[in-house]
Structure 1
């Protein structure tokens, strides 16, 4: 008897629920597409209007590069001092200090789809993993190992992280024009920042036979490919983290900045100008 009463009550509740008019939520305007988001967010992150970006981009994660680029271009204004990313534009080139780490590297590459740059060059510092690699050496990566995890949100882990060959060729030619040499090989990209004490991790790095280690290169290559943006990189060896004496310090980093950063930046600029002046295209991969 009690069960029959319970069933009838349940049925009454259902019938009442059917009669209650569903609340209608008004459709609000907003950023519904990736295009709308990046068009809004690139200026929001940089403080720079979309029409003030060059067609060629230099990415860095050091304010010194921004300052030098400004000085070399008649003190071109640095925009975004109160924003997450600072930038300077001159001669159709915009340099952006995007910060440090693979998540932020992926973010800036997504945001750059708002302007569809013709080429993006990453000028970063890295740790040299080989005994023959010295502080101040230039490394032109032919590929990067995706150890950071961030790039897995863009392409399956099996997809290699590769730069645009024509862009790396332009950088190689420019280095030779400066009467300098460079090392080439793979760069291992990780999200770990403090690992120099970890012996097991160091043994793992030795097995990979990578030339260098950093926190952005593989992410930039992968997100560039996913976003149909030709990317390249030139890395400056700033430390030798495989030995205790080579771990980066404030003093050693200052010496690297004083001795090598200007040349590093000049090569990046001249590499892009080579493409601009000769009207060369670097989009050789089928996206």
Structure 2
């Protein structure tokens, strides 16, 4: 690409701005691929200059449009805002939407150009790098940028980023390099590329929910706009049952299953396993895709004698004993329930169970959930009893508070509907035979409540879902 073509250009049309950014990005990736071929051939001389595109907008005091109804897509203060961009093929719709809102609300054009941030070669040509000979691979750092963890952090979503004098304020929560890092991690952990992920996400920790989801997904293909089911290894099933792709010999750490709709507003279900570490890991990376909602549908220990095995717990508060997010989000920060999600969960439970009003209270209880990092918390019940009592907790699990807290931190609407699988405080521990009977009876209904919740949220419209309570007073404009 010539210097003139790479020079910064101003746009008052979001589609044209993103198209230009895509051309700049594609040209940079082509230079990386050509450079890798030359490296293998032994003809490469000097570093390969391939940088991310950027988008920038300047908002004057006269152009501020402080509308109390707006949760995103507007600058809260006058100034210059910028971010680097990556993967326009994947994130183009998101970029177009956010840039269009900024142009419309502030009446200011955006500038698109080439940043000074080099694209790490593994993010642009992973397969080509993997195929390099050992000698060429050893020379890779001499010619190409590699991922640099000194630049890849969460200072912006954590609210700790402070622009240097003269530096633009962040336009988005994630830089291009931070985004690329997570896109690569998603493929590694889930077994499929990020292009398959949908904007509504269910997180679970039991294989039986996966089995139920697969049965449901196959039955839905060709209905309600669902076009394909993608499983780990990128095995694709389309309406009629035709299956393409080879199943992996082993499942990845957190396998994901994608019931796709045109436009990407289908459902992704991820089996995150047990514990807060995986819950944080996967949501750290999901966040760069800017999903509309993630929900936990898992199991918990009931703490009240009146609860029965198979009852539902709708979390409206959390005690964070998971410890994995304490550095990023101090434990004194409240994690509020998202009203739109809570209402949808309650309505979905009523539709699926057929219970409403006082009858619903026989199966569904709303309250505080304690999420712990200790799977054998029951063995320390005497030490924990006072704290559990003071918190008014009605259930204990290992993931819900992590998922909610990371949703709050990453500005992704969240919720948790749990199912009581044991009551260790009252002598009903999880034994093999009891667990099998419980799973057979309750898993499908619980899963269907989660799926119905996401359908309600989708049909009600996602704009109202992105709550202002997730936004700070010093916030990047992009959602």
TM class by smaller structure: 0.7 to 0.9
For 1:39, the equivalent position in structure 2 comes to 183
Contact 1:151 1:218 in 2 (8 A): no
Query: What are the superposed Cα offsets for residues 84-130 of structure 1, whole Å, 9 maximum, x if unpaired?
Result: 01121114111010111011101111010231111111101000011
- Tell me if 1:173 matches 2:347: yes
TM-score (norm 2): 0.52
Residue deviations 1:68-93 (CA, integer Å, cap 9, x gap): 11111227343155210112111411
Aligned: 1:191 with 2:336: no
Post-superposition offset of 1:168: 1.4
Match of 1:282? 465
Task: Select the residue among 202, 224, 239 that pairs with 2:422.
Answer: 239
| Greater mean alpha carbon deviation, residues 187-196 or residues 80-89 | 80-89
**Structure 1 moving runs of 4+ over 3 Å:** 25-28
Once the 2 structures are TM-superposed, how far is the Cα of residue 28 of structure 1 from its aligned partner?
5.3
Match of 2:252 among 67, 73, 83: 83
Aligned partner of 1:160 among 319, 326, 334: 334
Q: Distance in 2 between matches of 1:70 and 1:95?
A: 10
Is 1:132 the counterpart of 2:324 in the alignment?
no
Following TM superposition, by how much is the alpha carbon of 1:274 offset from its aligned partner in structure 2, in angstroms? Answer: 1.1
Q: Deviations over 1:174-223 (max 9, x none)?
A: 11122132100100111111132334235232333201000011111111
CA distance in 1, matches of 2:349, 2:298: 16
Superimposed CA distance per residue, residues 216-237 of structure 1 (whole angstroms, 9 cap, x where no aligned partner):
1111111111111111110101
1:123 and 2:297 equivalent?
A: yes
What is the distance in 2 between the residues matched to 1:269 and 1:117? 15
Show the 5 A alignment for 1:1-287: 29-32=145-148, 33=152, 34-74=178-218, 76-79=229-232, 81-90=250-259, 91=261, 92-178=266-352, 179-180=354-355, 181=360, 182-204=364-386, 205-243=388-426, 245-280=427-462, 281-284=464-467, 285-287=469-471
CA distance in 2, matches of 1:156, 1:42: 26
SS of corresponding position for 2:368 = strand
After superposition, the Cα gap between the structure-2 partners of 1:128 and 1:187, relative to the gap in structure 1 and judged at 3 Å, is: same
Residues 301 and 424 in structure 2, CA contact (< 8 A), matched pair in contact too:
yes
Q: Which moved more, 1:77-86 or 1:211-220?
A: 77-86
Unaligned runs of 5+ in 2: 1-140, 153-177, 220-228, 234-249, 472-479
- Seen in structure 2, the aligned counterparts of structure 1 residues 234 and 199 have a Cα distance that, compared at 3 Å, is closer
SS of aligned partner of 1:122 = strand
CA positional deviation for 1:133? 1.3
Q: Is the 8 A contact 2:192 2:231 kept in 1?
A: no
Q: 1:5 matched to which residue of 2?
A: none
**Normalised TM-score (structure 1):** 0.86
Distance 1:162 1:241 in 2: 28
Q: CA shift at 1:277, angstroms?
A: 2.2
| Alpha-carbon displacement from aligned partner over 1:227-285 (angstroms, at most 9, x marks no partner) | 11111110101100112x31112222212211111000001001101111232432112
Aligned mates of 2:431, 2:375 — CA distance in 1: 14
Mapped to 2, the partners of 1:246 and 1:161 lie a distance apart of: 30
Matched position secondary structure for 1:242: helix
Tell me the equivalent position of 2:155. none
Query: Residue 404 of structure 2: SS of its match in structure 1?
Result: helix
> Contact (CA 8 Å) 1:191, 1:215: kept in 2 or not?
yes
**Larger relative contact order (CA 8 Å, sep ≥ 6):** 1
Aligned partners of 2:143 and 2:432: how far apart in 1? 54
Q: CA deviation at 1:27?
A: 7.8
Change (3 A) 1:40 1:199: closer
* Contact 1:140-1:233 within 8 A present in 2 as well: yes
